[in-house]
Amino acid sequence: MTELTNLEFDAAHIWHPYTSVAHPPLLHEVVSAKGVRLTLADGREVVDGMSSWWSTIHGYNHPKLNEAAHQQIDTMSHVMFGGLTHEPAVNLARKLVEITDESLQYVFLADSGSVSVEVAIKMAIQYWFAQGKAEKHRLLTFRNGYHGDTFGAMSVCDPVNGMHKMFEKVLPQHLFAAAPECRDDADWQDSYIEDFKGLVQEHHQELAAVIVEPLVQGAGGMRVYCAEYLRQIRALCDEFNILLIFDEIATGFGRTGSLFAYEQAGIVPDIICMGKALTGGYMTLAAVMCNQKVADGIAADGSGVLMHGPTFMANPLACRVAAASIDLLLESDWKTKVLAIEEILNTELTKYRAHDLVKDVRVKGAIGVVELNKPLDDAMDWLPGFIIDQGVWIRPFRTMIYIMPPYIIDESDLRLLCDAIGNILNELNSTER
């Protein structure tokens, strides 16, 4: 029997994200990666515009992160965190406490972004349970939001436009306000917050927390909105005694132009989730941080035991690399790099606004989005191959063609990515005629 090639075996046996095994997607095998480039099995190199789902902010195969991983794996790759601790976890927690607002003093190290959202939701619900207010168990969020694919996280993703509608009968029923519309504080009108405010006023007695992605909604629509929403929401949460959770899994560690997106609003959440770029894209790790109010509140029933404990919680290998990644970020001129990326994205992508297929163009920090006026579903049989032929790796979804490149990308490679988006638009146009 002839042995199947890697791609043949993959097509026959392996599930990929958001795909059907009955109709396997077109795949490209990556054999190595360095800097901003992926090397494919056929020898071609492509510039990665996705940062491996927004995580590899320093690029691939970075010598400092490699060194951290090698040193840690030679010492201890993993040990349970129940009843034990270790220096990589303590060192990482120190750094997280140092780089976030002084009110965020407690750190829970989880497995992934979705798990961090689960933990944050548990924190909020358990907080109110410990106060003797078990009726406060629902959450409020925006439409067009995305917070992950596990069940608690799915329950606060958009129930209509999201990816999880088939599960609506088994998910907790939370509350969804109209998606944010205002992009600039200068254009703010109080009417923008009225729907959100009305839901808070009507349901505050049963609301445990508000959870939102600050400034940029990710996989739910790649929508950008202004900081005034966050200030208004913080004020409402304070007025009506509701906890505030920020999901900074995608926005954290510089992606929007500040180290964390909440800084641009001048307010702080009670609980914050972070992941993706936490380890520089080397391996899975997430963190949840909370303030003294939440920590003391959970302890108010006399036990204070947060009921969550992943097997690989605070994995030493991941913690060591995450600490090195934070050091690498802070030692670099990351803000200048992100602002330079933003400037080029604004220049290069804005010119596509006039294209027949384009509905909108949005840029925030190192995020560039071209939204089409119709879904890309019919093009997905040929589009991935066409993109690779442009010398880049971009992964469109629904109506979105977007890029979130590593911060180390140079101007020529960034312009190559932007030009590739133009080529995609032109090819889509020609196939429709």
Determine whether the annotation assigns residue 185 to a binding site.
no
Q: How many CA atoms lie within 13 A of 264 on its CB side?
A: 24
Instruction: Tell me if 311 is assigned to a ligand binding site.
Output: yes
Strand order in the sheet with 138-142: 104-110, 286-291, 271-274, 243-247, 207-212, 138-142, 175-177
**Is 18 in the active site?**
yes
Q: Please say if 407 is a catalytic residue.
A: no
**Is residue 276 among the annotated active site residues?**
yes
> Which residues lie closer than 8 Å to 399 by C-beta, 6 or more apart?
359, 371, 372, 373, 374, 375, 376
Q: Look up residue 25 and give its two tokens.
A: 């997607």
Tell me whether residue 276 is annotated as binding: yes
Q: Out of 158, 247, 270, 413, pick the active-site residue.
A: 247
Catalytic residue among 127, 146, 282, 352: 146
The dihedral formed by the CA atoms of 238, 151, 321 and 85, expressed in degrees to the nearest 10: 80
- Helices 87-99 and 316-331: angle between axes, nearest 10 degrees: 40
Any binding-site annotation on 94? no
Question: Per the annotation, does 310 bind a ligand?
Answer: yes
The answer to the question of whether 165 is labelled as a binding residue is no
- In whole angstroms, how far apart are CA 266 and each of 48, 82, 99, 233? 33, 36, 15, 12
Closest CA to 150 of 175, 122, 178: 122
Q: Is 53 annotated as a binding residue?
A: yes
Instruction: Judge whether 350 is annotated as a binding position.
Output: no
Distances, alpha carbon 242 to alpha carbons 136, 207, 275, in Å? 9, 6, 24
From the annotation, which residues make up the binding site for pyridoxal 5'-phosphate?
113-114, 247, 310-311
From the annotation, which residues make up the binding site for substrate?
53, 146, 276, 309, 395
Give the residue numbers marked as catalytic.
18, 146, 247, 276
From the annotation, which residues make up the binding site?
53, 113-114, 146, 247, 276, 309-311, 395
